[in-house]
Structures are given as structure tokens and as C-alpha cells.
Structure 1
Amino acid sequence: MPKHQIRETFSRAMSDMYKKEVPLYGELLDIVRDINREHLEAHPDLEEEVGSLDRVSEERHGAIRLGKPEELATMSRLFGVMGMVPVGYYDLSVANLPVHSTAFRPVEEDELAKNPFRVFTSLLRTDLLDDETRQQAIDSLADREIFTPGAIELININERQGGLTADQADAFIREALETFRWHSEARVPLDQYEKFLKSSGLVADIASFKGPHINHLTPRVLDIQKLHRRMQDMGIETIPEVQGPPSGWPILLQQTSFRALVEKTHFPDDKGGYVEGRHRARFGEIEQRHTALKPEGMAIYDRLIAKAKQYGNDLKKEGEEVYRKEYPGMLAELFEKEFPAKTNDELRRQDLGYFVYEKTKKGQQHPEAIQAEQNGQSNHQLMETLIRKGLVKATPVTYEDFLPVSAAGIFKSNLDEKSGLIESGEASDRALLEEALGDTVADYHDLYRRQEEQSIRSIL
């Protein structure tokens, strides 16, 4: 069975499971599909860039949190069955969260077009915890097994025979889903859970439960500001702001979410029974994806977001209502003044974003006209010349990855109000994550650059 088909079937099965576990997620999917339909009807030319309504509305990314290096190593093999590899290194310790992360996704252009399912995968960094919490977390996780024997057997078969048959793939999906299912029975007593929570909500979420339940499953929307407003109009409690760039800038990634649910949880007591408690971790995230930025563009973006965060912290002191009202305008004003491009054409002309190029009908009919322009210009200058002459057209490369500041912001907005935070870390450790993976993490800039260069080569 082709890997993209296994990936698509697994993504749908996970979505169906999550709908049953979190009914509000099902409502969210209906709202997203309505907004996407309205947007594509109003902008029919967009379909060539983003795909059909079905293609966009089926797109998902999930998020999980793992506790042990060996869990990450096996998870990498599990995602490998579906043609997903680790891309990007994200250090969330800089935002006072004791995890670092990567994202598993397909990387080839045709595979992304068929199904771009992604899973943002975080690993607990026990080295950032205080001595007592570290030992308690290690002890709690020591004998945890998050994969079924059937899943392990099918991962081994996949590696031996280079893939799975249709029947094996169906069995793999059933077995693999068990890893991501919500279990309301905790592994630790309530007092231990509360100690973990005091250290960090992420420690409590990772070290207290039987497995890495999906924390969110994110659909892609084509107008996130409209969705954010519609959720609020429906009385759905959202995070205060849309995370990422301001409305109107077609760059990178914007995200919002409804607040994490408070779920009944059963904690073991010392009499062989359970006591009831609560846990807050699973929420409904939505994203809108835009143009991938080159390192120069990303550096400007990061600088402005850091500045906006400082202003935002001042606004928060005046209360959440003030922050909700003032932050979007402040962010837009900052980008208006300091981000040098507001359209895809400007991003391309200033060489701040990634684009793929192809010949127009005129370019196909007159290859000699393209040949005549190849006179020592850089590839970027040459593409601009060919675009002006109507011989080539450019399409922005969609940002397929994540933003650590946005991820951290949404994680924090959805933590239990009693959750503690670790001291801000300064020890980014990609090598530690790669050692746990047993693999290197791909650099998404290399992937986007290769995509752009390949399209230019095909023209030349």
C-alpha cells in the first residue's frame, strides 16, 4: 500500500477518534469547512495554489508529548511507516517549558500534495527539572509501554519488507491508534500529579498518564481571523489572540485555538481504587498556512515578534480584555512600519520568501526568449526578468513547519491555571534530541531551498 494512502487513512481514523473524545472538535471541523468553502468561492484562483476544498479541509496536524528517549525512537519508526520523517528542531525551554520538539511529516513535493499530515512531537527534558521532580518523572515513566505488541510487530514487518500490504496497513492503523487514545485513568496518585503540575503542566501531562494522548488535531483554514471571530460569536472560549504574524501578511503560519478542556480524571489511591480529579491539556487548534520565508525574512519576523511580545506583556498587565482588544492593532502597526514586504510579489522581488517557478504558455512556446535572457544575471534577477516578460510565473512555497514562539504561546494559553513553569532555559540541545531519535533532523530551509532551485533548473 502506498505510504501516502496509509498516512491519509491514519489521519482520518485519528480525526474520527478525536471527534468522539472531544465533540467540540467536530463542531470546529464544520465551521472550518464552511469558511474554506466561502473563501474559495470568493477567490477561485486560489485553488491552484492551495488545492480543492476537500484537499484543504482534510489537512491536519497533530501534537503529542513523549516522556522517554526510547519512546521517541520508536515513534520515529512508527511515523516512518507512513513516509513521515523528523523536520526542524524546536527548543521550547526558552519559553519556560521543559520540552524540545521536532515535527514528523512527508518532505517530497508530490507526497505533500497527496497528504501533508504532520505531527508536532515533543520530548520531556528531565535535565531541566529540579532533582526531586526529575527523579519522580523518571520513576513514573520507567515501566511505561505506549505501543501495543501488534504495532511493534507491524513496524518490524514494514522495515523488513519495505512496506505493508493493504491488510497489514489496516491492522497497523488500528494498533497505532491505541498509542494516541485518551485514557482517563492516571498512572500516579493525585498528590504526585499535583507535584508535577506545580513544576510544569507539561510534566503533569507527560509523566502522569498511560500514553501520549493527542493534545490537539489541527485543521487548516483559509481565513483564520474570520474563524477566530466566529468562534467567539458562538460563545466558544478562545485564546486571546491569533498567534503568528498579523492579519494581512501572507507569511509563515497563524494559529488560534479554543481553550483546553477540563476533563474528569481518575487517580489511583492507596486502597486499590480511584479518586476523581481533573486534568486540562487537550484543546482545539486551527491554523492558516502562508509563504515560507528565507532566513533573512525569518530573522526580521523573529525580531518583530520578540518586540511585540514585550509590548504585549505590558498590555496584559492591564487585563485580558485590554490585551485582546489592543494586541492585534499593535502587531499590525509594528509590521507595517518594520516588515519590508506585505504581498507575495514584494516577498519575491526582495528575495525574502521561497517560490517555485514554471514556464507560462508563452514561455513554453518561446524557449529561445528564455535562452536570450541568460546573460550573467543571478538566478533571482533572471526569474524577475522572465516574470516581467510573461515567460515565467511564480507560486509561493507553503510553510509546512512550525513557529516555536507560537507553539509555546498556545501551549501556555492552554495549561491549567495551577501550572508552574521552569526557569527559562539557555541550553538548546539538538544533539540530545537526535540521539533519542537515532536520526538527524532535517533542516526545513534546505528542503524549501531545494524545491525552489529544482524549479529554476527545470526552466533553465
Structure 2
Amino acid sequence: MQNGTERKHVPSADIRQAFAVAMSAMYSKEVPLYGKLLSLVGQINKGVLENDSALREKLAATDNLDRIHLERHGAIRVGRPDELSQVRRVLHVMNMLPTGYYDLASAGVPLIESDDLRQRTARILSRRRIFSDKMFTLLAIYESNGGLVEAEAEEFVREATSAFQWHTSAAVSHAQYQEMSSESPILADIVGFKSPHINHLAPRVLDIDAVQSSMRDWDIPVKDYIEGPPKRQCPILLRQTSFKAIEEPINFPVQADESENTKQCVPGRHKARFGEIEQRGAALTVTGRQLYDSLLAAAIKDSITPGDRAAFSQVFASFPDSWKEMRDLELAWFRYYVNPSKRHARPAAKSFNLKQLIQDDLTSSPISAAGIFQSNLNKNGDNATAYLKSSNPASKRDFEKALGVEVADEMVLYQRIQEESIERCKAWFDSA
């Protein structure tokens, strides 16, 4: 209750959608090439759906069709543990919760090897503040009341979006920027600015091979090849491509110090932001991931990359490429639904039997729950494919300490999604 009236909270999903739309619009304005990419993806998706009625039916049945045009992930880089915690609190308002963990160090991405540079970058980062006082007020309201009313939600979206906007003025001198960039371009991208900015957003496409070839026709500078698993009849995990990082003009202060004296500037350039596209496939079970990772390791051992199409596909030929085999061997997670065209048919079996329902085409499983982004992390444009080893438990504990919460196990969530979908099918069967 507030001021004698009941607070009517805006659903988290509505706030999340408003935030996603606002971020997409802002990034399209900041990076016009990204807006061009969205137009291409929309055109490809429209063509696929017009020519694949079965896929359209599956997406409609699982509530994904109306969301096909929305970005499904993006990247923002933070530099301090408390920044990570603050971002986590902001995302929590939209019911976006920490899920899954991988250790970037095991993929060969350490940012700072010099202790002296680490200390100096920490001092630089200590001077910045991502979110406004108004945002912290809104977070306190949300955490006290369990939600935001409409006016608060609208202000929240504005504050959250503006926190990640692009700044054309750096927070470090050009000399400092060059030193950090020589250590790691990612380090310079994180530390060199007054606040984090969107590194990339990733719309979902239904035919990534069509996008890859069309990007050249649209004069969009595309990567050399699609990363992730090879093209399959039954897609798994994620396949990704992107346009190459753009170079943007930046003003560097002649001297950046504790007083933030940045009136005199020299021009320079920064290259980090890009537009990614992903085609989503089945999330793999632990067994499926172990098989996938073993095949990926074999490819890396033989210096085979996704760019070597035939050789890469041959390595993965031993991974079953039919939904039935993947289901029988428990390699992937599935979300089942009652076939819309068969809802009025009566099951032949006298008791619930999922396999029989599938065989009778009464129950189907779409391209299953969203694939997890762990297939590769190579962003440097070389020919290496990063292989994610087991996470360091200590690193995960440190990560969770900074977050302020434990990270959810994605496998537990996938299992819950699968089991709940089976229960819904069973409820339909019992009522038939």
C-alpha cells in the first residue's frame, strides 16, 4: 500500500520488453550499420516463415513467433565488482537472473597481466559511476515493494537505457588508452570510458547462412565464417556471425586525472562495437555437451575451424543429427507441446505415453529450449577457436560474491522447462 492506494505493478516481462526495444533503438541510432543489419534479418526471417509453414506453426505454438524480431542477448562490459552487482540489481527488476558460468581465463582471455597496470586501471575505474541517483532510488522502491508502478517503470527504462549509451569522450588520455590497448583491446574498451556502453546486440535469425551471404550484398562487412557448430538438419547450441567491429571517433583528454580535467582534447579512434546475429538451436544436456566439447577439442587439436566447412562438419558427423536419436540418447533438452492441428484427435493409448504421442504426431517438440552461448568465444578475428575448459570453482565463487547472489544452473532450468512441458501435454491427454 502507498498513500492509501494499492500499487499496481507493471509485469517484469513488460519492463524487459520496453528495455529491449529502447536499447535496440538507441544502438541502431548510435551504429546505423546495426539498423541496416536488423532490416536484413527481418527480411530473411519473413522469407523463411513464408516458406516453412511447419516452423511457423512450431514457433506460434511455443509463444516464440511474436518475439522473433526481438534481440535475445547483448553484451556490456563492466570493470568493478560493485558495478557487476549494480547491473545485476537492475536486470533483476526485469526478471533477468544470473544463469550459467564460464571462465574466460580458460579460453585464453586474461585482461591484465601487469600488477602495476592493474592498480592504475583500478584507480581509474574507481572514479566512475554507472547509474544515477534516480536509478538507485528506483531500485530501492522495487526492492521494498516487489515491483514498480507504470510511471516508475517508464522512468526505470529511461535511466537503464541512458546508463549504457555511447560517449564520444574518453575517460583516459590517449597515452593511457594506447597502453591499455596494447595489453588488451578489451581492457581499453572497459576502462577507457566514463561508463559501460553496448558492445553488441544480437538479433535472432532463422537462416544464418542466408544472412552470411546476404551481408556482402548489403555492403555490410561480415566475418569470414559462421562460428559455432556446423550446419545441421537439427541445429544445436548457437551459430553466430557478425559484422566486423566499427572504428569510431573519440576525443581523448590531454590529461585525465583525479580532478577529471578533460577540457582540452585530442582526436583519436576506438574499435570495439559490432552487430552479432545468432541462429538458435537445441540446448544440450550434460551428456550432449560432453560429446560436443570432445568433438570441438578434437577439431582444435587438428587446427580445424568452422571456416574449414567440410573438415569441420566431418569432425561433428558422429553427433546424431535427428531429433529422435538426440531424444533417445538424452543429448538435448526438449519442450513438448500438443500439435495444434491434432488437438481434437483422441490418443490411441489408454495411459499417458509420451513416445506414443510423438509417434502419433499428437505431441511435437520444437527446436528446443534456447541454446547456451558456450560454443566459442573467439572475437579477435584470428583462426583459433576457443575451447572452454571446466570452470575454476574459485573464480565462480569470486564471481558470485561480486554479484551478491548464486548463479543458477542452466541445466536445472532446462530440465524444469522440459518436465513442465510434458506435464502440460499430460494434462491435455487426461482431459481428452
Q: TM-score band (shorter)?
A: 0.7 to 0.9
> For residues 20-99 of structure 1, what are the structure 2 equivalents within 5 Å?
20-51=29-60, 54-98=66-110
Shift of 1:390: 4.8
Distance in 2 (CA, whole Å) between partners of 1:54 and 1:384 is 29
Q: 1:7 aligns with which of 10, 16, 25?
A: 16
- Pair 1:369-2:349 in alignment: yes
1:38 & 1:301 partners in 2: Cα distance? 31
Residue range with higher mean Cα deviation, 424-433 or 41-50? 424-433
How far apart are the structure 2 equivalents of 1:430 and 1:70?
Answer: 16
User: How far does residue 331 in structure 1 lie from its aligned partner after superposition?
Assistant: 1.2
The answer as to whether partners of 1:148 and 1:176 remain within 8 angstroms in 2 is no
**Aligned match of 1:378:** none
1: distance between equivalents of 2:286 and 2:117?
Answer: 38
Counting matched residue pairs gives 400
For the structure 1 residues 60 and 454, does the alpha-carbon distance in structure 2 shift closer, same or farther, using more than 3 Å as the test? closer
- Which secondary structure state, in structure 1, belongs to the residue aligned with residue 366 of structure 2? strand
Shift in CA distance, 244/357, structure 1 to aligned 2, threshold 3 Å: same
1:94, CA displacement in angstroms? 1.7
Please give the alpha-carbon distance, in whole angstroms, between the structure 1 residues aligned to 2:148 and 2:181.
41
Give yes or no for contact 1:98–1:203 (8 Å, CA) kept in 2. no
Q: Where does the alignment leave 5 or more consecutive residues of structure 1 unmatched?
A: 100-127, 316-322, 374-381, 415-423
Query: Which of 266, 269, 272 is residue 251 of structure 2 equivalent to?
Result: 266
1:452 aligns with 2:423: no
- C-alpha distance in 2 between matches for 1:161 and 1:8: 21
> What secondary structure, in the 3-state scheme, does the structure 2 residue paired with 1:46 have?
helix
Give the structure with the larger strand fraction.
1
1:387 corresponds to: 358
Determine the structure 2 residue equivalent to 1:210.
194
Q: Distance in 1 between matches of 2:251 and 2:90?
A: 29
From the superposition, tell whether residues 279 and 370 of structure 1 become closer, same or farther in structure 2 (CA, over 3 Å): farther
* Bigger fraction of residues in helix: 1
Aligned AA for 2:417?
Answer: Q
Residue 278 of structure 1: aligned partner: 269
For residue 346 of structure 1, what is the aligned residue in structure 2?
325
Whether 1:356 aligns to 2:335 is yes
Note if contact 1:353-1:396 (Cα within 8 Å) is conserved in structure 2.
no
SS of match in other structure, 1:347: helix
User: Is the alpha carbon distance of 1:55 and 1:389 closer, same or farther for their aligned partners in structure 2, counting shifts above 3 Å?
Assistant: closer
1:412 aligned partner? 380
- Shifted more, 268-277 versus 432-441: the winner is 268-277
Matched, 1:290 2:281: yes
Q: Secondary structure of the equivalent of 2:221?
A: coil
Paired letter, 2:40: I
Given candidates 151, 165, 171, the residue that maps to 1:167 is: 151
Identify the residue that residue 373 of structure 2 maps to in structure 1.
Answer: 402
Q: Report if the CA contact (8 A) 1:349-1:384 is conserved.
A: no
Alignment-derived partner of residue 118 in structure 1? none
Alignment of 1:325-344 (within 5 A): 327-336=308-317, 338-339=318-319, 341-344=320-323
Which stretch of the first structure deviates more once superposed, 341-350 or 258-267?
341-350
Query: Deviations 1:222-248 (Å, cap 9, x if unpaired)?
Result: 000110111123332222211111112
Q: Which moved more, 1:21-30 or 1:299-308?
A: 299-308
What TM-score do the two structures reach when normalised by structure 1?
0.81
State whether residues 181 and 214 of structure 1, in contact with CA within 8 Å, keep that contact through their aligned partners in structure 2. yes
Q: Aligned residue for 1:149?
A: 133
Structure 2 gap segments, 5+ residues each = 1-9, 256-260, 383-388, 428-432
For the residue of structure 2 that corresponds to 1:286, the secondary structure is strand
User: What RMSD over aligned residues (CA atoms) do the two structures have, in Å?
Assistant: 2.5
Deviation, 1:212, is 1.1
Distance of aligned partners of 1:370 and 1:286 in 2 relative to their CA distance in 1, 3 Å threshold: farther
Check whether the contact 2:135–2:159 (CA below 8 A) recurs between aligned residues: yes
Of 431, 438, 458, the match for 2:397: 431
- What is the CA–CA distance in structure 1 between the aligned matches of 2:291 and 2:144, rounded to whole Å? 46
1:213 maps to amino acid: H
Shift in alpha-carbon separation, 1:385–1:181, aligned structure 2, 3 A: same
Taking a change above 3 Å as real, the CA distance of residues 435 and 97 of structure 1, as seen in their structure-2 partners, is same
Distance 1:70 1:452 in 2: 35
Q: Normalized against structure 2, the TM-score is what?
A: 0.86
